[in-house]
């Protein structure tokens, strides 16, 4: 076994690998960029090496610096995690050439499966069913458009390199093909350095079911059952589960047999995933699934497989890479209960799931859930910052229970008891998915989220009592409720009329001044304008229980810079505590300007100064956090100025300035 390994990754997967290595008594070396100098994975490792600037091209994609760091620190092997260089055969070759061990498959296996078109041709030869489509070398628009017509619309354009939904576009009509192809190619080129694509038949009610496979260097290959990853947004997985709901023994046998056959066809060693597209329009049938691609690495969603089998897949990776045979035979691999994983992101579902940046001023995960177990995979701590340079994942929340219904209830419970203040998250959206009736019934396909988005992304009302609790917390008078100090207990006492304590609290759009009077040890009177409330506040575990007229709220409070967060069952209400010495200058963006919603690169500009545009028209495309985002006109108008293509912009940078346009002129557009 290795004595020391280097983890060529960051965030939660680096932390995940470090934990298993530590359990096995293996020393660890982390690498980090400028932005990750204070990251959790750096603190957890035995040693850490700086490898470059904040962007991935300057750090986590610098194979030469990573390999040199391994050599300099005496590491014997490199674990790639997932993403970055994990499926780069050139990196594997360089690792081996340097006399190190790559903890993963061979470069030949990665090459065989790295390009989707070549992989599908290989799978056809191995007897694995593949989805109808064009997987050839020709990339001219006229050829691809012609093949799309032959296949029949709708079709799916897919980048032949990489994954994660990048470089993928559904096309419903020949009229939209050229535009979708251009967008897919740009995104694929940016993400993978390869803009070549393939075209496939779009399955009308598709489910995404994948099989975890494992091989060793002794000719053995097994499966560790299937995972259902059908809940997706923009072709990116949102919630994953194992086993797949409603799968029959016959379907499982057919899929797992095909997956092991695929692994053996390329003499696969290590952890891998065979992904299948399944036609669920007539239920799950042994003849209704097709090979999509193979991920030649550990998957983001591997914890659900670990939960149902009780196995540590990272430990298996390390043992196989060290030359050991697989720890178990196929017959020895158990399958127990049901597991669900949700990807908790710093993103705003109400704004089209725009990635968000910010500091995690308050962060707490549930230690337990009802009738199940919870597991948190994260690479951040309270006080850490979600930066614009990397994927904005905060954590993976994983639950395990005796059956699927209990697991879904446990997942909702875990999400509603996750506390985050400092950045917007998709926690409420994930909780809505966990209780979605169709999903709960197992009637799921990859289009579910898009179809029901209106019901899943519903603004959550601030609970009654949240504002009053924030006012009391800001006053400092709640120390009376919990303190045993006699001087603290006297706060608010007066021989004459009790004094009124002033508190100024800010909410979106306005600021109000409150007056607080202490009535008793746990009773307070809160006055604002002409209204007065008599409230009682008691300690409730680690939070508060506030009651009064129309109020019965259990919540927690957290101090954040210039404000207070009130957290209650998945709802986070933020209130500002204004600094009276600070000048108020929050005019915001003017109506004639359109600003960048996040830092990014202007990939393309669709209009020019002087153009008349309609509301909703795409003005430019901004690339941020590895994805393309269309910036559209908020209203009709005339373009006065627009940012240059190729510009790197910061959040709130002016992108477009409008002039007023005559209605008569607009009708000519």
Active site residues: 297
Separation of alpha carbons 164 and 326, rounded Å: 28
Q: DSSP string of 508-543?
A: TTEEEEEEEEE-SSSEEEEEETTEEEEEEEEEETTE
Q: Do 185 and 257 touch, CB atoms closer than 8 A?
A: no
Place of tokens 């993976």: 396
Q: Are 544 and 551 in contact (CB under 8 A)?
A: no
What is 529-583 written as a DSSP string?
TTEEEEEEEEEETTEEEEEETTEEEEEEEEEETTEEEEEETTEEEEEE---TTS-
DSSP symbol at 129: -
Which contacts qualify for 612-615: CB closer than 8 Å, 24 or more apart? 612/636, 612/637, 612/638, 612/639, 612/661, 612/665, 612/666, 612/668, 612/669, 613/637, 613/638, 613/639, 613/669, 614/666, 614/669
Token pair belonging to 52: 């470059």
Alpha helices in 32-106 (DSSP H): 40-44, 63-73, 89-97
634 exposure class (CB count in 10 Å sphere: 0-12, 13-18, 19+): middle
The verdict on whether omega for the bond into residue 564 sits within 30 degrees of 0, i.e. cis, is: no
Spatial distance between the Cα atoms of 462 and 570, rounded to a whole number of angstroms = 11
- 604 secondary structure, DSSP code: E
- On whether the CB atoms of residues 515 and 529 are closer than 8 A, the answer is no
State the Cα angle at 126 between 316 and 289, rounded to 5°. Answer: 80
Q: Which helix (H) or strand (E) holds 486?
A: helix 486-489
Give the three-state DSSP class for 592.
coil
């Amino acid at each position: 076994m290795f004595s020391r390994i280097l983890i060529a990754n960051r965030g939660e997967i680096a932390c995940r690998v470090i934990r298993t290595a530590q359990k096995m008594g293996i020393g660890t070396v982390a690498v980090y960029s400028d932005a990750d100098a204070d990251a959790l994975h750096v603190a957890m490792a035995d040693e850490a090496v700086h490898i470059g600037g904040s962007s991935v091209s300057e750090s986590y994609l610098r194979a030469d610096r990573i390999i040199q760091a391994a050599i300099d620190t005496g590491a014997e092997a490199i674990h790639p995690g997932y993403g970055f260089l994990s499926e780069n055969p050139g990196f594997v070759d360089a690792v081996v050439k340097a006399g190190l061990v790559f903890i993963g498959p061979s470069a030949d296996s990665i090459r065989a499966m790295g390009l989707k078109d070549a992989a599908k041709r290989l799978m056809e030869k191995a007897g694995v069913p593949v989805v109808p489509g064009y997987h050839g070398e020709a990339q001219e628009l006229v050829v691809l458009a012609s093949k799309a017509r032959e296949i029949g619309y709708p079709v799916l354009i897919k980048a032949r390199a990489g994954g994660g939904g990048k470089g993928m576009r559904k096309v419903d009509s020949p009229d939209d093909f050229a535009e979708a192809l251009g967008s897919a190619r740009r995104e694929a080129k940016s993400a993978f350095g390869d803009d070549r694509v393939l075209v496939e038949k779009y399955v009308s009610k598709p489910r995404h079911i994948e099989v975890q496979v494992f091989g060793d260097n002794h000719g053995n290959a097994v499966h560790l059952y299937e995972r259902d990853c059908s809940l997706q947004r923009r072709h990116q997985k949102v919630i994953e589960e194992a086993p797949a709901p409603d799968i029959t023994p016959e379907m499982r046998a057919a899929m797992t047999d095909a997956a092991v056959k695929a692994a053996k066809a390329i003499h696969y060693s290590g952890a891998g995933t065979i992904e299948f597209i399944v036609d669920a329009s007539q239920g799950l049938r042994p003849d209704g699934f097709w090979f999509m691609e193979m991920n030649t690495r550990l998957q983001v969603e591997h914890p659900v497989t670990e939960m149902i089998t009780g196995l540590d897949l990272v430990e298996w990776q390390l043992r196989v890479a060290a030359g050991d045979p697989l720890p178990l035979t196929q017959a020895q691999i158990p399958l127990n209960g049901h597991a669900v994983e949700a990807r908790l992101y710093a993103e705003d579902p109400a704004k089209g799931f725009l990635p968000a940046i910010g500091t995690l001023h308050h962060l707490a995960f549930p230690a337990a859930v009802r009738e199940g177990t919870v597991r948190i995979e994260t690479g951040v701590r309270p006080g850490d910052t979600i930066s614009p340079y990397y994927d904005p994942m905060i954590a993976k929340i994983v639950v395990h229970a005796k059956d699927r219904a209990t697991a879904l209830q446990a997942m909702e419970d875990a999400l509603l008891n996750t506390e985050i203040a400092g950045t917007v998250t998709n926690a409420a959206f994930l909780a809505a998915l966990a209780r979605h009736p169709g999903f709960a019934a197992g009637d799921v396909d990859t289009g579910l989220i898009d179809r029901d988005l209106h019901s899943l992304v519903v603004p959550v009302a601030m609970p009654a009592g949240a504002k009053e609790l924030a006012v009391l917390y800001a006053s400092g008078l709640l120390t009376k409720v919990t303190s045993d100090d006699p001087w603290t207990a006297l706060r608010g006492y007066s021989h004459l009329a009790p004094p009124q304590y002033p508190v100024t609290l800010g909410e979106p759009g306005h600021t109000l001044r409150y007056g607080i009077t202490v009535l008793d040890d746990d009773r307070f009177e809160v006055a604002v304008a002409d209204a007065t409330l008599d409230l009682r506040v008691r300690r409730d575990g680690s939070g508060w229980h506030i009651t009064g007229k129309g109020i019965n709220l259990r919540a927690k409070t957290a101090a954040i810079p210039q404000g207070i967060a009130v957290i209650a069952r998945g709802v986070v209400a933020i209130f500002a505590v204004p600094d009276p010495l600070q000048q108020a200058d929050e005019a915001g963006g003017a109506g004639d300007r359109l600003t960048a919603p996040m830092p990014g690169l202007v990939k393309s500009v669709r209009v020019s100064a002087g153009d008349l545009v309609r509301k909703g028209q795409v003005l430019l495309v901004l690339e941020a956090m590895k994805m393309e985002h269309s910036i559209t006109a908020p209203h009709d108008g005339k373009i006065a100025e627009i940012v240059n293509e190729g510009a790197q912009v910061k959040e709130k940078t002016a992108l477009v300035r409008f002039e007023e346009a005559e209605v008569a002129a607009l009708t000519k557009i």
